[in-house]
Amino acid sequence: MTITDFQTATLFRFATAGSVDDGKSTLVGRLLHDSKSILADQLEAVTRTSVERGFGGSASGEGQGQQIDLALLTDGLRAEREQGITIDVAYRYFATEKRSFILADCPGHVQYTKNTVTGASTADAVVVLIDARKGVLEQTRRHLAVARLLRVPHIVAAVNKIDLVGFSEAVFRDVEEQLLRAAAELGLPDVRVVPVSALEGDNVVELSARTPWYTGPALLEVLETLPAVDELENEFEAFRFPVQSVIRPQGALAPGLDPEPFRDYRGYAGQLASGVVRVGDSVTVLGSAAGTQITTSVAGIDFAGTSLPQASAPQSVVLRLSDDIDISRGDLLVEAGTFAEASQDLHASLCWLSPKPLREGAKVLIKHGSRTVQGLVRSIKGWLDLASFSEGPAADLGLNDIGTVQIRLASALPVEDYERHRRTGAFLVIDPVDGNTLAAGIASGVPDGEGEPRGG
């Protein structure tokens, strides 16, 4: 384990996506192993299993001719081994001096869309594995399309098994060309391409002498230097704050506090979904009561006994406001002048994640920010072909389908366009009967508010 400088180290979340047999488990194992995140007892267990299973590859993990199957480092549950399947996303952790990483390891085969959507929803980057011998496959295009739909800021394409094509620059350039073309078609903003051998370790943590024609950084360095979502200054990122709860401690004050200053305390607890807020800023309260919009100003930002001059996403804080307004859980505070209006009509793409298909006329629950309201699916307007990113007609949506729908809400929600506001454009579709999560919702076609948001 590396000593991370916790004063400056930031958190970076990424998801991996790949097709069957492209060496994803080996790559994840290699990243964990070469960044020294694997401890002796884990390595010993893996080495033992490698020997038992007769692993004879050339991945000399430890020198001295000791050969281990790095893929075993990410070996899953017994339930998975017994059935020979991988059950959804596994989260893994490693750190370097510059960053702590949260890796959402998404299995490539069964239910790839469901898993990739889940992993990509919180990701700062998606690492897409491509077999150098096979190039961009339909599966690759699907992964890229999901990353595009969920607006993951960075794609890192690891062109793997470069050793099996003799470290050929021509092969790499060809795959790179295919990738950049697919990325351009999809409108992906930022794609980095790195030639790697997960098995041999080339360009994963250390740059390889065997690819002298590659002048970019190794995969880990790419991940260490890409800006995370909350480090990107986005021109659309105005302040957004879903109110989680109202803190009125009268009668239930934390022990040890002098009650006098808190006699009339009223604060709003929440996590900034985007942007920055400063004491004195004008904010508009989008109330859950139909159509209410009241503008006031921020009187204070509290966090566990400390008064802060400002807070930025994704900080959790308590805001106090200048005016005594009736605000409750579910309300959204926004930078004044940056929001149009809440609507009862929701136009969105849904990534359908349930085996129970969606049909027109379905009654669902919509969870947006800290509010949940009823919704009626009025129409299914189309089905998205991920391979071509074109839309065709659809009567229903099944597991792993992505489609566009029109939903009528029982009360208006301040949903924004996901393209511009990742947090406030996202919602869950929930089954009102059994409470299960049915779909990931991505709002589209919402007119953006007037005014000039300030940014960071």
Residues of this chain, 9-28, that bind another protein according to CB under 8 A: 9-11
Residue number with CB closer to another protein (52 or 58): 52
Compute the distance between CA of residue 400 and CA of residue 355 in angstroms, rounded to an integer: 9
Region near another protein per CB under 8 A, out of 161-169, 285-293, 429-437, 446-454: 429-437
CA atoms within 13 A on the CB side of 299: 12
Compute the distance between CA of residue 304 and CA of residue 297 in angstroms, rounded to an integer: 21
Residues of this chain, 67-126, that bind another protein according to CB under 8 A: 75-79, 87-93, 95, 99-100, 102, 114, 117-118, 121-122
Q: Which of 54, 65, 84, 255 binds another protein (CB under 8 A)?
A: 255
> How many of the chain's residues bind another protein (CB under 8 A)?
102
Cα–Cα separations (whole angstroms), residue 187 to 26, 139, 183, 416: 30, 18, 6, 20
Residues of this chain, 143-162, that bind another protein according to CB under 8 A: 153
Two structure tokens written together for 198: 């997960």
Regarding 209 and contact with another protein (CB under 8 A), the answer is no
Q: Which of 170, 209, 254, 395 binds another protein (CB under 8 A)?
A: 254
Q: Which of 137, 164, 228, 294 binds another protein (CB under 8 A)?
A: 228
> C-beta of 81: minimal distance to another protein in Å?
9
Residue number with CB closer to another protein (343 or 372): 372
Regarding 178 and contact with another protein (CB under 8 A), the answer is no
Regarding 64 and contact with another protein (CB under 8 A), the answer is no
Regarding 31 and contact with another protein (CB under 8 A), the answer is no
Residue number with CB closer to another protein (283 or 426): 426
CA atoms within 13 A on the CB side of 178: 18
Angle at 23 between CA 21 and CA 25, to 5 degrees: 110
Strand ranges (E), 141-197:
154-160, 191-195
Residue number with CB closer to another protein (12 or 383): 12
Q: Which of 130, 188, 218, 386 binds another protein (CB under 8 A)?
A: 188
> C-beta of 422: minimal distance to another protein in Å?
8
> C-beta of 124: minimal distance to another protein in Å?
10
Residues of this chain, 346-405, that bind another protein according to CB under 8 A: 353, 365, 367-370
Residue number with CB closer to another protein (78 or 393): 78
Strands 99-105 and 90-95 come out as antiparallel
Compute the distance between CA of residue 122 and CA of residue 111 in angstroms, rounded to an integer: 18
Region near another protein per CB under 8 A, out of 132-140, 242-250, 277-285, 376-384: 242-250
CA dihedral in degrees (219, 225, 230, 233; nearest 10)? -120
> C-beta of 74: minimal distance to another protein in Å?
9
Residues 6+ apart with CB under 8 A from 435: none
Compute the distance between CA of residue 185 and CA of residue 64 in angstroms, rounded to an integer: 48
User: Closest Cα partner for 193 from 99, 98, 128?
Assistant: 128
Region near another protein per CB under 8 A, out of 16-24, 162-170, 408-416, 430-438: 430-438
DSSP string covering 48-85: HHHHHTT---S--SSSTT----GGGGG---HHHHHHT-
CB atoms within 10 A of CB 140: 25
Residue number with CB closer to another protein (246 or 293): 246
Region near another protein per CB under 8 A, out of 50-58, 135-143, 205-213, 423-431: 423-431
Residue number with CB closer to another protein (111 or 296): 111
Q: Which of 196, 373, 427, 446 binds another protein (CB under 8 A)?
A: 427
Regarding 6 and contact with another protein (CB under 8 A), the answer is yes
Q: Which of 21, 53, 66, 257 binds another protein (CB under 8 A)?
A: 257
Regarding 212 and contact with another protein (CB under 8 A), the answer is no
Residues of this chain, 298-337, that bind another protein according to CB under 8 A: 302-305, 312, 314-316, 318, 329
Two structure tokens written together for 67: 């050969």
Do the Cβ atoms of 243 and 280 come closer than 8 Å? Answer: no
Residue number with CB closer to another protein (122 or 292): 122
Cα–Cα separations (whole angstroms), residue 434 to 13, 27, 430: 31, 38, 9
Compute the distance between CA of residue 86 and CA of residue 19 in angstroms, rounded to an integer: 13
Coil/strand/helix, residue 148:
helix
Do the Cβ atoms of 18 and 71 come closer than 8 Å? Answer: no
Compute the distance between CA of residue 202 and CA of residue 195 in angstroms, rounded to an integer: 8
Q: Which of 168, 293, 374, 437 binds another protein (CB under 8 A)?
A: 437
> C-beta of 347: minimal distance to another protein in Å?
19
